[in-house]
Amino acid sequence: MAGRSGSRADKSRAAGRRRPGAGSTVDAAGPGADAAAGRGSGAAGKSLSPEAEARAIVLRQLTMAPKSRHQLAAKLAEREVPAEAAKAVLDRFEEVRLIDDAEFAQMWVRSRARNKSLARGALRRELSEKGIAKELAEAALEQLSETDERSSAAELVRRKLRSARPARDREELDKHRRRLVSMLARKGYSSGLAFEVVNRELGELESSSDAWDTL
């Protein structure tokens, strides 16, 4: 009888250990369980070596759009790739010409001048922001001549004048002049060139009797 009573007591204690209270699963597992799980998932995400991870990041970035070395280095730093691994990968990509700041600068100038009508001043600032060395930037900017800039500025002004409300008097005409010069300045054109182009285009508009009747 005593044996049966002892057996029931042992079973009761064992059941109590098997049936933790509500919300006690984590406590029963111990405070280190979640940390271990976190380390496991983290380890799975970090299974690549730093160099392999850096290569994967750089390739993804270059697939989306051309990038300068400075831009890629910033992205690797943002992803917390060790500096030594980042440098090794960027050096290797430069060796095989997958990173080429000179070519990037040439392409950037052509594209931005054609699609955004930017002048050398604005392009110079953009290249500097992207970490392009000064000598490479200046070599790329040689693609744009003063004639190119003047032609581009004149086309910008004519386009704006076509869409602008005609001036009703000299005061409004002066407002047009200030706005046009400011627009060219924002795109990197020098103040001298901006005033020259704007005054010439407005002068041609003024000399046209049909157009001047609307001013």
Mean pLDDT of the residues in the chain = 81
Q: Can you give the pLDDT at residue 168?
A: 67
Residue 113 burial class via C-beta count within 10 angstroms: exposed 0-12, middle 13-18, buried 19 and up: buried
Please report where in the chains the tokens 């040689």 appear, as a residue.
142
Q: Can you give the pLDDT at residue 161?
A: 86
Mean pLDDT, contiguous 10-residue spans, the chain (215 residues): 49 46 35 34 62 97 97 97 98 97 98 96 97 98 95 94 74 87 96 95 70 44
Q: pTM of this prediction?
A: 0.70
Q: Can you give the pLDDT at residue 31?
A: 34
Q: Can you give the pLDDT at residue 47?
A: 78
* Contacts for 73 with CB less than 8 Å, ≥ 6 apart: 86, 90, 131
CB-based contact 112:125 (threshold 8 Å): no
Q: Which long-range contacts (CB under 8 A, 24 or more apart) does 6-13 make?
A: none
